[in-house]
Every structure is written in C-alpha cells, then in structure tokens.
C-alpha cells in the first residue's frame, strides 16, 4: 500500500509499505476513504514530538471501511463504515475508567505517533470496539472526518476546560482549524462575547462568518490593549490558546480576567514563560489537556442534526497521490488560506 512516512525532522515521503495485519484480537484493519492533516503533524515534522520517530506513517484522523477484525472485536465487522478516533482507548485501565482516554496506559494518542497512522491506504486500529465509531446512514462523510480530532479537541481542551458559560466573555488566540472548532462549539453555551485573535485577515473574516462577535489582527502587537479596551479593562473570563507558541500563551496571560481560565490547546515545542509575578493574586486557573474524545458521540449528534456545519472547516481537497502538495498547502496557510485539507483515496 501507499503511505506518507515521516523520515525525520523536515523530511517526509510517499512510500510503499506492507498492508497492516491483525496483531492482537482487539485490532481492526480499516481501509481509508478520507483523511486529513493536523497541525500536530506539522509539529512532528518540526521535531517537536520526540515520541514520533523516523519511519512512522503519519496521521491520526479519518473515515473508512472495516477490512478485517480480530476475533475479540464484537461491535464492528468487515464492511462497516467507521470514524477512526485520534485516541485509542482500551476502556479498562484506570485512566480510561476516569474518562481520560488520552492517557490510556495501553493506547492514548498512538496513531501516527507511536504506531503507524491514517495517512495510508489501510491502518491497523487498536482497541477497535472502543476506538472506532459507526457512521450513521445518510451522514456527510466529509464532515465526519472533523470528528476524529479537531471538533473534540476544540470542545474538550478549549470550551470545557475553559469553563465557557452563558453570558461570559471568551477570547480565542489563534483562528486556525482548532481555534475555529473551539469557536463553533463555544456557541453551545451562549457566551456574550467571543473575540478571535490572529495575524491572518482571511481567517479572521472566516471567524466572523463562524460566529465571532469581534476579531483582532495582532500584526501590530496591540491585541492585549484592544481586548482590554473591549472588556472595559477587565479582561476575558476564558482565554483559549490555540496556536502552540510562547507569544500566544503570554497573550492569554495578559488578557485573562481575575477569576478567569486560561485553557491551553496548542502543542508547545519550546518553553513559554509563566508570569506569576503578575498572576499570583488573580484567582485564575490554567488548564492543559490532550483530547480524550469522550464527547465524540455527542458531537456526532450535533453534526448529524446540522447544529454544527463541520464541513465548512474544509477548504482544500486532494487525492492521496497529491498528499505532498496537500502538506505544502496546509503548511503555507497564510498564503493559501487553507484550514482543513481533505485527502481522498
């Protein structure tokens, strides 16, 4: 089969690889129909994720058809149309029983990280019964790809951890795909204000279409000043960091209101300063999280009911033989205006 392989920092290539086989009875092998690229894949290519080593097939998102299952798999059978979760959950360890699937001692985020991932024609998915989801009849397949990772990540790590509430004020620093997923799902809780901060006018314009009440281009470095002016000098109740660079985290520190929450989503490859000399007396909380995907069933219902139009996050489409072009497009989003790129087999 063809697969997109990480060859070390800054290097990737399409390679021929053997089709995966069932390794343990709880496995399934899924034939991919559609996949996508995540910002985390770009962090891997930068060398920010040391657990992902050279030779790994990238990718942790996708929709496909079950090709074969191990003899312990009871919820799925060959031919079933499925969503592949970015998180593999054994369902029985202490962390899984607490709903922290991301820290499953037998799984977690392993696809495209510690084991071969979904940017290939076939993928082996561990713990199939608790790591795959049936695709409901009549569903829009493109939208469902967004349920593998991006929607639960924005919702769980940003909105839920950020304790967004009716009438509250929210600022999302970073209007990329994850930031926009947080914007879409924050609206479940009817905050009074959702302010989007970014450097890209196109993404900010999309943020307005997606429901932001205000947008700020921080090219002039005055985002903090503008947010404070908008909030009467108070700051925001929830500051969501959705980039993964020190400057965006510090912006969140500077705009959070007393009693507020900084909810980090971004993947940080280098240290970010924590200014406790300013924050020690402000009653704030700082949260971090790797998506657990515990909300995927609920989000699937919201997508089915069209409460969220997840497919509008998709801006570009490629066939798998053009996956390197897809990476170039996604990595140059400032010029290409890319959000999510859909890759079809």
Question: pLDDT tens across 197-235, in order?
Answer: 999 999 999 999 999 999 999 999 999 999 999 999 999
Domain residue extents for the chain: 2-149+292-344, 152-287
Query: Partners of 197 in the beta sheet?
Result: 173, 216
Q: Report the share of the chain in percent with pLDDT over 70.
A: 100
pLDDT of residue 114: 97
CA pair distance 276, 8, nearest whole angstrom: 37
Residue 148 and residue 61 in contact, taking contact as beta carbons nearer than 8 Å: yes
pLDDT bucket at 334, cuts 50 / 70 / 90 = confident
**CA distances from residue 24 to 70, 126, 176, 301, 325 in whole angstroms, order as listed:** 7, 8, 38, 31, 35
pLDDT of residue 132: 98
Token representation of residue 239: 């500051």
pLDDT digits (tens, 9 = 90+) for 143-200: 999 999 999 999 999 999 999 999 999 999 999 999 999 999 999 999 999 999 999 9
pLDDT of residue 202: 94
pLDDT digits (tens, 9 = 90+) for 77-135: 999 999 999 999 999 999 999 999 999 999 999 999 999 999 999 999 999 999 999 99
Output 73-77 pairs: Cβ under 8 A, ≥24 positions apart.
Answer: 73/25, 73/26, 73/27, 73/28, 73/128, 73/129, 74/129, 75/128, 75/129, 75/132, 76/28, 76/128, 76/129, 76/132, 76/134
**CA distances from residue 23 to 72, 114, 133, 239, 308 in whole angstroms, order as listed:** 12, 15, 20, 43, 37
> Based on the number of CB atoms within 10 Å of its own CB, is 21 exposed (0-12), middle (13-18) or buried (19 or more)?
exposed
pLDDT of residue 121: 98
CATH architecture for residues 2-149+292-344: Alpha-Beta Complex (3.90)
Please state the rounded mean pLDDT for residues 326-342: 95
Mean of the per-residue pLDDT values of the chain? 96
Domain 152-287 -> CATH class: alpha beta
């Amino acid at each position: 089969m063809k697969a997109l392989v990480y060859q070390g920092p800054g290097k990737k290539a399409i390679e021929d690889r053997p089709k995966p086989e069932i390794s343990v009875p709880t496995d399934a092998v899924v034939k991919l129909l559609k996949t996508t690229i995540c910002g985390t894949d770009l962090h891997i290519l930068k060398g920010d994720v040391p657990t992902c080593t050279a030779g790994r097939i990238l990718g942790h998102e996708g929709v496909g058809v079950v090709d074969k299952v191990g003899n312990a798999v009871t919820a799925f059978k060959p031919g079933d149309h499925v969503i592949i979760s970015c998180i593999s959950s054994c369902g029985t360890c202490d962390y899984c029983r607490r709903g922290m699937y991301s820290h499953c001692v037998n799984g977690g985020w392993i696809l495209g990280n510690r084991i071969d991932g979904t940017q290939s024609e076939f993928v082996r998915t561990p713990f199939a019964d608790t790591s795959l989801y049936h695709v409901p009849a009549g569903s829009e397949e493109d939208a469902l790809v967004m349920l593998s990772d991006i929607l639960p990540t924005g919702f769980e790590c940003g909105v839920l951890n950020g304790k967004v509430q009716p009438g509250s004020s929210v600022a999302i620093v970073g209007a990329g795909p994850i930031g926009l997923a947080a914007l879409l799902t924050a609206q479940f809780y009817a905050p009074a204000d959702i302010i989007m901060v970014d450097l890209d006018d196109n993404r900010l314009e999309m943020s307005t279409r997606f429901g932001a009440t205000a947008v700020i281009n921080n090219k002039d470095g005055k985002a903090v000043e503008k947010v404070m002016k908008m909030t009467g000098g108070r700051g925001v109740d929830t500051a969501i960091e959705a980039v993964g660079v020190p400057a965006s985290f510090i912006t969140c520190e500077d705009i959070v209101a007393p009693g507020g929450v900084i909810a980090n989503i971004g993947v940080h490859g280098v240290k970010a300063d924590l200014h406790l000399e300013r924050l020690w007396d402000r009653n704030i909380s700082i949260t971090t999280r790797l998506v657990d995907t515990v909300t995927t069933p609920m989000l699937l219902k919201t997508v089915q009911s069209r409460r969220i139009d997840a497919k509008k996050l998709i801006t570009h489409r490629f066939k798998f033989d053009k996956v390197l072009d897809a990476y170039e497009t996604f990595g140059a989003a400032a010029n290409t205006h890319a959000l999510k790129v859909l890759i079809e087999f």
